[in-house]
Amino acid sequence: MRVLIALCLALLVSATAPLAAHAKHRVAPTETPRIHKVEKVAENVYCIFGQGGNIGLIVTTKHAVLIDDQFERLVPGLLDAVRTLTDKPIKYLINTHGHPDHVGGNVVLEKQVSAIIAHTNVRRRMVTEQAKLDPAKRGGLPELALGSEDTKERARLNLHLDDAEIHLLHLGPGHTDGDVIVGIPSVLVMHMGDLFFLGMLPYIDVESGGSFDGLTAQISSVASWLPDGARIIPGHGPVCGKKELLRYRDFLQAVQAHVKANPAKDAATLAASFDQAAWPEWKPRPDFVTWETLFSVASGKGPGRVARP
């Protein structure tokens, strides 16, 4: 209760703080491709596709809220896409987790929002990574941190902005140890960040505290209470609904069951003996997540992805 009260007080303070209170305010690059496409998900809720993770946009009576922001160089194009939908100021920026294709635009957008909100572990990891950078390149850290560093502790924050209610929910380690699900209950829309991959095999970032079993448990939990008719913005892939989430749950559980049924087999053997053709929605990428790397992380023995060059 004390954590929620503190967060609410922080929201009130940050909402009235001048933009000059933000430590870093970079000027957005002027030369960048305009690649973003917009899809209406529900009344006043949109998905913006570009390069990297899917972006959510919520428009209230007086403000807008962004969920993730892709890369710094693409922010001008992102803002152009937002302006085709609304000219209202962006009040909050929510980060679903801390990977660069979801938070890269923070350093530009921090000058336009009252606060950046993310899980505590996202801020912690960003601080660590930015300590390696030249001070001039730092910035865009979340000002409001949800939950604690304890990966077993769940956390929730409700935002009340104008006529909108927005729920932020952390259910433990999954894709990383700082994932946040963003729900808009009035229109049955949920942005799941990279807890949900559709079209490619899921990435579990073990180095950032991710867990295959944790991811499977989270998806199973959400699938059990998500209302019929709900719309989902995945971290990667097309906007979808409960049917696709249930299918994703079944896929993760099938991988998990295959590992448990064959404890002596290595990842390559597990991948070769798994019925991959039964799950055409999830395709491997040789430069990212392959069947072998997926079974490696599902077995608790790998980093979750192909090694970077």
pLDDT in tens, 130-183: 998 888 888 999 999 999 999 889 999 999 999 999 999 999 999 999 999 999
Of 114, 91, 95, 113, the residue nearest 104 (C-alpha): 95
CA distance 164 to 149: 29
Query: Out of 3.30.413.10, 3.20.20.60, 3.40.50.300, 3.60.15.10, which CATH number does the structure's domain 2-298 have?
Result: 3.60.15.10
Q: Specify which residues 146 forms β-bridges with.
A: 119
- The three state secondary structure string of 42-61 is ECCEEEEECCCCCEEEEECC
User: Would you give the end-to-end CA distance of the chain in angstroms?
Assistant: 46
CA distance 95 to 144: 11
pLDDT in tens, 11-46: 333 433 333 333 344 444 455 567 999 999 999 999
- CB 89: neighbour CB atoms within 10 A? 11
Dihedral sign (CA 253, 259, 262, 268): positive
The token pair that represents 170 in the structure block: 């952390």
Cβ(281)–Cβ(247) below 8 Å: yes
Residue 6's pLDDT is: 42
Q: Kindly give the confidence (pLDDT) of every residue in the chain, 309 residues in length, as a single tens digit, with 9 standing for 90 and above.
A: 444 434 443 433 343 333 333 334 444 445 556 799 999 999 999 999 999 999 999 999 999 999 999 999 999 999 999 999 999 999 999 999 999 999 999 999 999 999 999 999 999 999 999 998 888 888 999 999 999 999 889 999 999 999 999 999 999 999 999 999 999 999 999 999 999 999 999 999 999 999 999 999 999 999 999 999 999 999 999 999 999 999 999 999 999 999 999 999 999 999 999 999 999 999 999 999 999 999 999 999 989 999 887
CA distance 263 to 281: 26
139 class by beta-carbon count within 10 Å (0-12 exposed, 13-18 middle, 19+ buried) = buried
**Domain boundaries defined on the chain:** 2-298
Residue 24's pLDDT is: 40
Tell me the C-alpha to C-alpha distance, in Å, between residue 104 and each of 69, 138, 242: 7, 11, 29
CA distance 194 to 177: 12
